[in-house]
Structure 1
Amino acid sequence: MQSNNPVFRRSEAFNGAGATAYGNQTYPGNGAAYPGYGQQTPSGYDQQYAPTGAGERMTIDSVVQKTGLSLAIVFLTAAVTWFMTGDIRTSEDNLGTLYLALMVGSFGAFGLSMVNSFKRVVSPPLVIAFAALEGVALGAFSKLIDAMFVNESGLGNNLVLQAVIGTFAAFAGTLAAYKFFEIKVGQKFRTFVIAAMFGMVALGLLEFVLGMFGNAIGFLGFGGLGLLFSVAGLVLGVFMLILDFDFVEQGIAAGIEERESWRAAFAITVSLVWIYTNLLRILAILQQD
């Protein structure tokens, strides 16, 4: 079965040789032992498709390590951006620098996300570069939101910290629900999530272009329509995580190459960033009300 997810569809490991292995119902999903921990490969997995070279396969550990590294880079570059742009409430130059960082980080990360999504052979340097640029964008965006919404004492309302905690809570909750409730991902669900994701990206780009001419609709604003758009984005981000968990589980069961851990790390990072940005906007909108 070929994936509709553009991140995984370009992977020969997911959709090529190992497709038979994880396209049927013979993989040990939902809590069963994975290959890579001393277990046998799932029935139906042809040994001729075992990874060549070093012979290492993707495991839970390798996915966690690569994802942890990707997120650490996001956090690091976000923190550097936050502190290097200075106090934007007292200097217009600092505000200009912050907007520049936001634009460079956002468009750079978006461009690399497209490259990584449709690249057939996953490139660890490009995944790392994406994480770095995404961190720059998130650092600038977070600082801008923090400066926009302050309390009566002139201090921030810890919206960024709340959004970070909420993002990891969403990750943990989604993972727990996926495992404990044995969520099954069907083809219709995959199609819906991917179509909705591209639809929201298209609407966001349309809003940005219209905003340049003073005709913004309000999808990216802080009004009622912006709140609805962010809530829908938050729910969609949770659905994206479910797809990520499903592909990682099936890929491990099929014994795909260890380098595909970078593709999984990229996908999970995208989903977490998606959740964080929408959650931060929701908190900001509710704060002003």
Structure 2
Amino acid sequence: MALGGNPIFNGKNFRGATQAPPVPSYTHGQPQYGQPQYGQPQYGQPAWAAQPPMTSDQLQEMYNQPAAGPAETGRMTFDDVIVKTAACLAVLLLGAAVTLFVAPGTANLLMIVGALGGFALGMVNSFKKQPSPALILTYAGLEGLFLGGLTRLLDGMFPGVGLQAVIGTLAVFGVTLALFKSGKVRATPKAVRFFMIAMLGYLVFAVINMVLVWTGAVQSPFGLSSSVHIFGIPLGVFIGILAIGLAAFSLVMDFTSIEQGVRQGAPEKYSWTAAFGLTVTLVWLYVEIIRLLAILRGDD
């Protein structure tokens, strides 16, 4: 894949993804140089093995047949990606529904299991050379447990943030897709470099913040995000807006990778890789939005 694709795709799953073999073409009239005519045996081939000549009706029927498309030649299509992404999201929603309807204690336990299991399978799927539909769907289910438990926890503290986060995630996804299709937003090399620098800074902050919360150095459940204020605004608001912007640009990288995969004729199985990449980004986007909403509500 070219520069600008999602790191989940680059240098790993699409490596060696070549186009399906071309469909043979048939020409009317004289045969090409070095090709035998219909009904004539090749050199050294017995006459009884020669193919009978095709009738004019057979030739016309062959000529009228439509050219084979990506689906007929086993290549990835946008429809494949849509269907498999929908399957991942359906499994994710099923996992979320489980944590929403069980006892609170069980929901918290499932949330932890989903977070740890989802992270582990996310790493496995990211570094796995060939996509595994079973592992990708299992990842989606575990992330559903995590998101369902997180939503239940935060929605109990700040009623309504769950629905607002869902609406916000859909809105960001829709706007990003529309801007990408219009050509106004592209994953250019310069933009990708900025993304990588900003992402590194965000990860450093996230690790430091997590350590401070775990060690009890900061008592706030969101750590520095809600305990530090800049001009009266929680630090988490600025960090959250940055993170949502990074997640939105990651969607652009996903769309770029999918578009290039379809254009280059990647095998159909890599539509699972595309679905996995989109699922990872949407999970990240939802977490950042619901966390930002919770910080804003908690500061009221």
TM-score class, shorter-chain normalisation, is 0.7 to 0.9
Give the structure 1 partner of residue 223 of structure 2.
Answer: 218
Pairwise CA distance, 1:200? 3.0
Pairwise CA distance, 1:257? 0.7
Confirm or deny: 8 A CA contact 1:237 1:271 kept in the other structure: yes
Whole-angstrom distance in 1 between the partners of 2:211 and 2:89:
30
Pairwise CA distance, 1:271? 1.1
Give the structure 2 partner of residue 163 of structure 1.
Answer: 165
Q: Residue 255 and residue 163 in structure 1: after superposition, are their counterparts in 2 closer, same or farther (change >3 A)? A: same
Does residue 126 (structure 1) correspond to residue 135 (structure 2)? The answer is yes
Give the structure 2 partner of residue 284 of structure 1.
Answer: 294
Give the structure 2 partner of residue 108 of structure 1.
Answer: 117
Whole-angstrom distance in 2 between the partners of 1:239 and 1:129:
26
Confirm or deny: 8 A CA contact 2:81 2:275 kept in the other structure: yes
Whole-angstrom distance in 2 between the partners of 1:244 and 1:148:
33
Following superposition of structure 1 onto structure 2, how do residues 67-216 of structure 1 map, counting pairs within 5 Å? Answer: 67-86=85-104, 94=105, 97-149=106-158, 156=159, 158-216=160-218
Pairwise CA distance, 1:6? 3.0
Q: Residue 265 and residue 12 in structure 1: after superposition, are their counterparts in 2 closer, same or farther (change >3 A)? A: closer
Secondary structure of 1:174 counterpart = helix
Secondary structure of 1:11 counterpart = helix
In structure 1, stretches of 5+ residues that fail to align are 20-36, 42-50, 87-93, 150-155
Confirm or deny: 8 A CA contact 2:115 2:142 kept in the other structure: yes
TM-score, normalised with respect to structure 1: 0.76
- The one-character-per-residue Cα deviations of 1:89-118 (angstroms, maximum 9, x if unpaired) are xxxxx2xx3332222111111111111112
Does residue 232 (structure 1) correspond to residue 242 (structure 2)? The answer is yes
Whole-angstrom distance in 1 between the partners of 2:175 and 2:99:
30
Confirm or deny: 8 A CA contact 1:222 1:281 kept in the other structure: no
Give the structure 2 partner of residue 246 of structure 1.
Answer: 256
Q: Residue 163 and residue 110 in structure 1: after superposition, are their counterparts in 2 closer, same or farther (change >3 A)? A: same
Q: Residue 192 and residue 227 in structure 1: after superposition, are their counterparts in 2 closer, same or farther (change >3 A)? A: same
- The one-character-per-residue Cα deviations of 1:201-238 (angstroms, maximum 9, x if unpaired) are 45324432332211248355576122222111111110
Whole-angstrom distance in 2 between the partners of 1:112 and 1:206:
24
Secondary structure of 1:238 counterpart = helix
Pairwise CA distance, 1:249? 0.5
Whole-angstrom distance in 2 between the partners of 1:71 and 1:38:
34
Report which stretch shifted further, 239-248 or 199-208.
Answer: 199-208
Confirm or deny: 8 A CA contact 1:10 1:120 kept in the other structure: no
Q: What letter matches 1:218 in structure 2? A: G
Confirm or deny: 8 A CA contact 2:88 2:140 kept in the other structure: yes
Confirm or deny: 8 A CA contact 1:10 1:117 kept in the other structure: no
Whole-angstrom distance in 2 between the partners of 1:100 and 1:203:
27
Give the structure 1 partner of residue 8 of structure 2.
Answer: 7
Q: Residue 220 and residue 55 in structure 1: after superposition, are their counterparts in 2 closer, same or farther (change >3 A)? A: farther
Q: What letter matches 1:103 in structure 2? A: I
Q: What letter matches 1:186 in structure 2? A: T
Give the structure 2 partner of residue 64 of structure 1.
Answer: 82
Confirm or deny: 8 A CA contact 2:6 2:277 kept in the other structure: no
Q: Residue 199 and residue 257 in structure 1: after superposition, are their counterparts in 2 closer, same or farther (change >3 A)? A: farther
Residue identity over aligned pairs, in percent, reads 40
Whole-angstrom distance in 2 between the partners of 1:214 and 1:232:
26
Whole-angstrom distance in 2 between the partners of 1:239 and 1:170:
10
Confirm or deny: 8 A CA contact 2:17 2:267 kept in the other structure: no
Does residue 274 (structure 1) correspond to residue 274 (structure 2)? The answer is no
Whole-angstrom distance in 2 between the partners of 1:198 and 1:137:
24
Whole-angstrom distance in 1 between the partners of 2:288 and 2:135:
25
Pairwise CA distance, 1:269? 0.8
Q: What letter matches 1:189 in structure 2? A: A
Q: Residue 131 and residue 220 in structure 1: after superposition, are their counterparts in 2 closer, same or farther (change >3 A)? A: farther
Pairwise CA distance, 1:198? 5.0
Whole-angstrom distance in 2 between the partners of 1:205 and 1:278:
15
Q: Residue 38 and residue 233 in structure 1: after superposition, are their counterparts in 2 closer, same or farther (change >3 A)? A: farther
Confirm or deny: 8 A CA contact 1:11 1:122 kept in the other structure: no
Q: Residue 143 and residue 17 in structure 1: after superposition, are their counterparts in 2 closer, same or farther (change >3 A)? A: closer
